[in-house]
Amino acid sequence: MNKMKLAGFNEILEYYHENINAGQDCYYFFDEVQYAQDWDR
């Protein structure tokens, strides 16, 4: 089973930053986030 399938949002961002984009600045853009419940928390 793919570990990322069961991961939470923060875990996915951490995995990406540590393994895919390691050592580099990165920016995250979220399209239509206003439709997600409690997006501003």
Domain assignment of residue 12, yes or no = yes
Domain assignment of residue 41, yes or no = no
Residue 17: is it exposed, middle or buried by C-beta count within 10 angstroms (0-12/13-18/19+)? Answer: middle
Domain assignment of residue 22, yes or no = yes
Tell me how far apart the alpha carbons of residues 15 and 22 are, in angstroms, rounded to a whole number: 9
Domain assignment of residue 11, yes or no = yes
pLDDT in tens, the chain (41 residues): 455 566 787 888 888 888 887 878 888 788 888 888 887 77
Residue-level pLDDT at 3: 56
Domain assignment of residue 26, yes or no = yes
Residue-level pLDDT at 6: 64
What is the reported pTM? 0.47
